Amino acid sequence: MVVGLSDNFVRPYVLSGSSKLHPLVGFIAAFGALETIGFYGLFLGPVLAGAVFTLVELVLDKETA
């Protein structure tokens, strides 16, 4: 039980890694994708969220330049 509860708090920090993705966004992306996709969503959710945030950042930088 303790391991399961600690996993809910540690996973967002581990999944965010060195990216600029906020841990809360990683947490929501991981468990949202887990609900919709299944087990692979734990890994694909934060990756897709990071890709979307990077794409938005690139588009906004291009508009201002």
Per-residue pLDDT tens digits for 15-28: 555 567 788 888 89
Residue 48: other Cβ atoms inside 10 A: 14
Q: With both helix axes pointing from N to C terminus, report the angle between 23-36 and 41-64 in degrees, rounded to the nearest 10.
A: 130
Model confidence, pTM: 0.64
3-state secondary structure at position 13: helix
**pLDDT score for 18:** 55
Which parts of the chain sit beneath pLDDT 50? none
**pLDDT score for 22:** 82
**pLDDT score for 54:** 84
Residue 46: other Cβ atoms inside 10 A: 26
